Amino acid sequence: QVQLVESGGGVVQPGRSLRLSCAASGFTFGHHGMHWVRQAPGKGLEWVAVIWFDGGRKYYADSVKGRFSISRDNSKNTLDLQMYSLRAEDTAVYYCAREARHCSDVGCSIYYYYMDVWGKGTTVTVSS
C-alpha cells in the first residue's frame, strides 16, 4: 500500500544539525513532488519545503530558508530534510507528504495540487 515513513528525529542542541528521511513505498515516487510539513507542540500545521518530482526545483518557508535543505533520491525512493543551525522554535513533529494533482478539464489547462498521503511523522526536539 501507499506509505511514507519518516525517520531521523531526536533531541538536538540549539545550533546543531539533524537530517530527516522519508521512505516512500507503494507508488512511483519519481512521479510526485514531495513536501515537508511540521507541527509544533499544540500548534497548527506549518509548511516547510517542497521539491519537484525530479528535484529540479525546491522552495522553502521563510522561517527555514538558508538553514534547511530538501533533497530526494528517486532511485532509492527517499526524501530528505537536512536541518542546520537548529533553534528551539524548530521543535515539532515533521511530516513528509506526497503531492498529487488533479487535472481540471479535458485539456488539462489547470492542475489542482494537494497533499494526499502523509507519513506518521518524526519528532524533533531542539533543547539544551
Partner 1 sequence: DVQMTQSPSSLSASVGDRVTITCRASQNVSRYLNWYQQKPGKAPKFLIYAASSLQSGVPARFSGSGSETDFSLTISDLQPEDFATYYCQQSYDTPSFGQGTKLEIK
Residues in the site for partner 1, rule: CB under 8 A? Answer: 35, 37, 44-47, 50, 59, 61-62, 95, 97, 102, 104, 112-121
Nearer to partner 1, 1 or 62 (CB): 62
Looking up cell 534547511 gives: 68
DSSP letter assigned to residue 89? G
**From the CB of 108, what's the least distance to partner 1, in Å?**
13
The answer to whether 61 and 44 are in contact (CB under 8 A) is no
State which residue, 104 or 127, has the beta carbon closest to partner 1. 104
| CB 100 to partner 1: min, Å | 8
CB of 38 within 8 A of CB of 20?
no
Strands 3-7 and 111-118: unpaired
C-alpha to C-alpha distance for 46 and 63, rounded to whole angstroms: 10
Q: How far is the CB of 81 from partner 1 (least distance, A)?
A: 15
Q: Which is nearer to partner 1, 89 or 113 (CB)?
A: 113
